[in-house]
Structure 1
Amino acid sequence: MAKESIIIAALGLFLRRGYKSVSLIDVANELGITKGGIYHYFSSKDELLRTALNFFFQRFEAKYTDLLSDKYSIQEVLHSLMVDDAFERYSKELFGLERECSVDHMHFMIEMMLLFPDIQEKVQQSQVLICEAFAKRIQAAVEKGELKSNLDSYALAANIMAMVNGQKSLGSHFRYPEMRKRMMDNMWALMNT
């Protein structure tokens, strides 16, 4: 069994059920291996979590880097994040989760920060890096005349990230594609020249 397979299985379980509700036996059962197979790579559930979180951050930072590249317009980025729910789809693909399963990254991260305060710094660093990259992409769009010239690109990036991260917290009414599209269209109208 490859180490990465254990990490992916554990993350999938942690995201669906929460860290406290998942044991190493659950991870082993998910993979069809023994608990000892996990101990070959990880000395504890905490070590598995920390390694899994690093894996998670690397994958999501890379996904954001790709999404914020010049190959997509800002409107396409907004649509991908706010309407298509790109990161939930990416999670489901990466972790082999069913379509009906809901993936709530932000509540998972909040749980991790409460259980392991040192992880909070890593989460915040990751969010700042993503926000800075997003702000640069917005600023480039402003300079090209695609967006209003008086925008504070960093504040706008933070607003968009907060909106995307908060959509799940608002409840199921706000999760429908039509509502997500209305939210995106409204944000675009505020940003657009």
Structure 2
Amino acid sequence: MLEDVLKSIVEMEEEEAVNKAKEYLEGGGDAQKLLEVCRDAMGKIGERFEKGEYFLSELILGGEIFKEIMEFTLPKIKGGSEKKLGKIVLGTVKEDVHNIGKDIFKVFAEASGFEVIDIGIDTPEEKFVEAVKEHKPDIVGMSCLITAGVTSMKKTVDKLKEAGLRDGIKIIIGGGRVDESVKEYAGADAWADDAAKGVRLCKQLLGMEV
């Protein structure tokens, strides 16, 4: 049954995946195992995207299927029993209101076991600083899809330095305007141009994957 759930998610069979997941749980299935299968499926979707076999539309649909199944699965998992890989504060930087890339990354990160605090779009530097102080994340993720956002990323990193918070966190940037030179300019630790790669890099930053 779990193999069927995995296959249905990877093949984008939304109704089939949701129904099989419900059937599995109603039959006394293990919610934690179902969660792990959903994560595996998201990983496979990410791999297909990286190979060019899937596109943005599939990533979005995969995320929607995942969220739909999680809505009725997570309540069945006892609070605190699930170990998180780490905590990420995530936002689209000031002057940029794009959220698709950020939202897809959030789904993939949560599917991989990260706790994600999403602080929204057009996020001023001060809000990133406040969120880091409040939530004490392991990683800060910044997204931008327009050129103006590159300057905002650098300003945000500088503000975190001024607040004495930079050394305690890893910073990853993502979006259509980022590359190695932007990473160096902004002072980030890593950059990614897609969600699956971003999650893999987050694990690497925390020493979990080579």
For this structure pair, what is the TM-score category when the shorter chain's length is used for normalisation? 0.3 to 0.5
Higher share in helix: 1
Structure number with bigger Rg: 1
Task: Specify which structure has the bigger relative contact order, considering alpha-carbon pairs within 8 angstroms and separated by 6 or more residues.
Answer: 1
